[in-house]
Amino acid sequence: MSTEEQLPIEDNKAAVNYSEDNIVTLEWQEHIRRRPGMYIGKLGDGTTSDDGIYVLLKEVLDNAIDEYMMGFGKQIVVDIVDGKVVVRDYGRGIPLEKVVDVASKMNTGAKYDSAAFKKSVGLNGVGIKAVNALSTSFVVESVRDGQCKHVEFSKGIITDERDICATDQPNGTMVTFTPDAEIFRDYLYRDEFVVPLLKNYTFLNTGLVIVFNGKRFVSRNGLVDLLKENMTKDPLYPTIHLSGEDIEVVITHANQYGEEYYSFVNGQHTTQGGTHLTAFKEVVSRTIKEHFNRNFEYSDIRNGMVAAISVKVEEPVFESQTKTKLGSRDMGPNGPSVAKFVGDFIKKELDNYLHKDPTTAEIILKKVQESEKERKSMAGVTKLAREKAKKVNLHNKKLLDCRVHLNDAKGDEEKKLASSIFITEGDSAAGSITKIRNVETQAVFSLRGKPLNTFGLTQKVVYENDEFNLLQAALNIEDGLDGLRYNNVIIATDADVDGMHIRLLMITFFLQFFPDLIKKGHVYVLQTPLFRVRNKKTAKRVGMKTAKKQGIAEDTYYCYTDEERINAIEKLGANAEITRFKGLGEISPEEFRDFIGPDMRVDRVTLRKEDGVADLLEFYMGKNTIERQNFIIDNLVVEDDTEIA
């Protein structure tokens, strides 16, 4: 018997009253607004490609794309200005009497009718309603055969509905919406994420024209154009392009480590793959192995492979509302399995291609043999490294893990997308982050000293170097991105010269051996303030912790640039006290809370063809010592500390 007195059962009942008053029925729009993550994944402000504002855009675009796929309308016009989005298609237009229902009644839409939308990309009766509910202004206008219906909403509630009237506009639908700034705080649509999204639609719909803010996008070669757009190294042989009913595939290899895939279902970019991509990878490996009649490892066959697959599935089932991973096992209610459909097509078409083009087959054979030779040369090293990674107690020594991971089979989609790992230098910085991190979604990996410069080295170094071996194990990326444990890999180093150097060394490591981690948008650099400018009178009188509690925290400014520092000094005048943060370890855990919270500032590390990464790495990380030394001398900036107290 516990020494604490227990309440009798009847008292427990009284303490927690449960009656009909506790049963609440939410209106459809209120449910979406209270639980937006269920419908669009994470919210965000537009700084990452999977932020909710891009999902809103996609939901509207998907409806326009469906019209094109059904053979109606060859052009879609998209305009985004000051956060306001306009999407105009030239399809058939929503049936005029159903415009209100389609925009504001859950489980309402044409996509339940497989005859009208056999292989739709949109969500069955949900998507556009989510956009409506999460927008302060949502206007839908449909034109059909000389007649127009116009309805306006705010946060899912009708504010203006006009009668059907005559018009001379061409058929189609125009949707105009402004995301709710209370939900998407300080949001901004960024061209760097919008343009690839629109280009993907054109790659998957040959001949479709999308005009974005006056700029025209169109593709004539489908997925071949997609690979050309995304590959950062030259292909070893002309792209293999295979297409059939409901499937299109492109395959090549490049002199790079790892595997790089782009997968799509009904025009939807399944960034996390799914049953179609799993089948594709397995059958491509088997087909090439059987073609050469060699006992090759699948990993050697796929090393350096760059490929894309697009399939069209009836009534696709996705593993999340945001449609990033296909869960369907079958191509449709009466169709074959996804694995059989993809497998039969690849086995026949790829084998035929390799027989008809012996030159390409020979290049593939040589590439696979090179990968096999390198793998065998470091077999002993990798075995020892794996054993060491298992023995090291990551949870106590190198990695302080979080509870939710990207590769979890189940769980909150928003939390999985928020899963992050901070790669820090030294124990002091790791300590500050560790004390105030969100243990649900934020992990910390502590580096010991400066990482090795891996430029020009082989993959063997990943296993020979303890830091890289343990980091690879923590990320779970040895066999590709399928098992990646964190959606966001954040390099968190000091804002000094050494910190910048460590950033470069880590980015070089990822570029060399895991370029797809960067291409898929998983790698970021944490921005932390260079200066703290605060009112020294307040600091001395009550202390900054008390000041913050008393609501006078505006007396403290965290400045990320010299311009912000100057502005803060002007605001505080003679009372300004300036501190220069030279290391993350100098920032207290309480101060760090805001820097890795909802308003965390990060810069995404990008990798594009036009970046000329190979030349950049050669110059900055290679052995051209004299040239780099002269560059540093010519661009040297001496920090002026005269104003710093």
Q: What is the pLDDT of residue 112?
A: 44
Which range of 206-220, 310-324, 535-549, 606-620 scores highest in mean pLDDT? It is 206-220
Residue 68 amino acid letter = Y
pLDDT over 60 at 643, yes or no? no
Q: What is the pLDDT of residue 9?
A: 42
Rg (Cα) of the chain, in Å, rounded? 28
pLDDT over 90 at 396, yes or no? no
Average pLDDT over residues 628-635: 72
3-state secondary structure of 524: strand
Q: Judge contact between 212 and 226, C-beta under 8 A.
A: no
- CA distances 3 to 6, 7, 9, 12, Å, are 9, 13, 18, 18
Q: What is the pLDDT of residue 113?
A: 52
pLDDT over 90 at 109, yes or no? no
pLDDT over 50 at 28, yes or no? yes
pLDDT band at 33 (very low <50, low <70, confident <90, very high): confident
CA-closest candidate to residue 263, choices 249, 252, 253: 249
pLDDT over 80 at 474, yes or no? yes
pLDDT tens across 585-594, in order? Answer: 778 888 888 7
Average pLDDT over residues 180-193: 93
Q: What is the distance in angstroms between the CA of the first residue and the CA of the last residue of the chain?
A: 62
CA-closest candidate to residue 184, choices 129, 126, 122, 133: 133
CA-closest candidate to residue 183, choices 50, 27, 42: 42
Least confident of 23-32, 129-138, 468-477, 608-617: 608-617
Q: Is the pLDDT higher at 33 or at 430?
A: 33
pLDDT over 80 at 574, yes or no? yes
pLDDT tens across 274-331, in order? Answer: 999 999 999 999 999 999 999 999 999 999 999 999 999 888 888 876 678 888 898 8
pLDDT band at 81 (very low <50, low <70, confident <90, very high): very high
Beta strand extents in 100-253 (DSSP E only):
135-144, 147-154, 157-161, 165-166, 172-179, 209-212, 215-217, 240-244, 247-253
pLDDT tens across 480-497, in order? Answer: 888 899 999 999 988 777
Least confident of 30-34, 158-162, 493-497, 640-644: 640-644
3-state secondary structure of 356: helix
CA-closest candidate to residue 262, choices 285, 287, 280: 280
Average pLDDT over residues 451-456: 87
pLDDT band at 552 (very low <50, low <70, confident <90, very high): very low
- CA distances 337 to 243, 341, 343, Å, are 18, 6, 10
CA-closest candidate to residue 177, choices 83, 244, 240, 94: 83
pLDDT over 80 at 376, yes or no? yes
Q: Is the pLDDT higher at 111 or at 42?
A: 42
pLDDT band at 439 (very low <50, low <70, confident <90, very high): very high
Least confident of 66-75, 99-108, 148-157, 614-623: 614-623
pLDDT over 80 at 619, yes or no? no
Q: What is the pLDDT of residue 510?
A: 93
Query: Which domains, and CATH codes, for the chain?
Result: 33-217 (3.30.565.10), 233-376 (3.30.230.10), 379-528+603-634 (3.40.50.670), 531-580 (no CATH)
Q: What is the pLDDT of residue 636?
A: 64
Q: What average pLDDT does the chain have?
A: 85
Q: Which residues contact 365 (CB under 8 A, 6 or more apart)?
A: 292
Both tokens of 18, joined, read 């449960």
Residue 177 to residue 60: CA distance in whole angstroms = 10
pLDDT over 60 at 264, yes or no? yes
3-state secondary structure 426-438: HHHHHHHHHHHCC
pLDDT tens across 404-435, in order? Answer: 999 887 878 778 888 999 999 876 666 788 88
Q: Is the pLDDT higher at 148 or at 599?
A: 148
Residue 149 to residue 162: CA distance in whole angstroms = 7
Q: Judge contact between 143 and 188, C-beta under 8 A.
A: no
Q: What is the pLDDT of residue 120?
A: 60
pLDDT band at 199 (very low <50, low <70, confident <90, very high): very high
pLDDT over 70 at 395, yes or no? no
pLDDT over 80 at 645, yes or no? no
pLDDT over 60 at 502, yes or no? yes
Which stretch of DSSP H or E encloses residue 534? strand 531-535
Residues in a beta bridge with 160: 152
3-state secondary structure of 323: coil
Residue 431 to residue 598: CA distance in whole angstroms = 20
Which range of 134-148, 328-342, 410-424, 442-456 scores highest in mean pLDDT? It is 134-148
Average pLDDT over residues 365-385: 90
Judge if pTM exceeds 0.75: yes
Q: What is the pLDDT of residue 173?
A: 96
CA-closest candidate to residue 447, choices 425, 471, 469: 425
pLDDT tens across 531-548, in order? Answer: 889 887 765 554 555 555
> DSSP characters for 572-635?
HGGGEEEEE--SGGGS-HHHHHHHTSTT--EEE----GGG-HHHHHHHHHSS-HHHHHHHHHHT
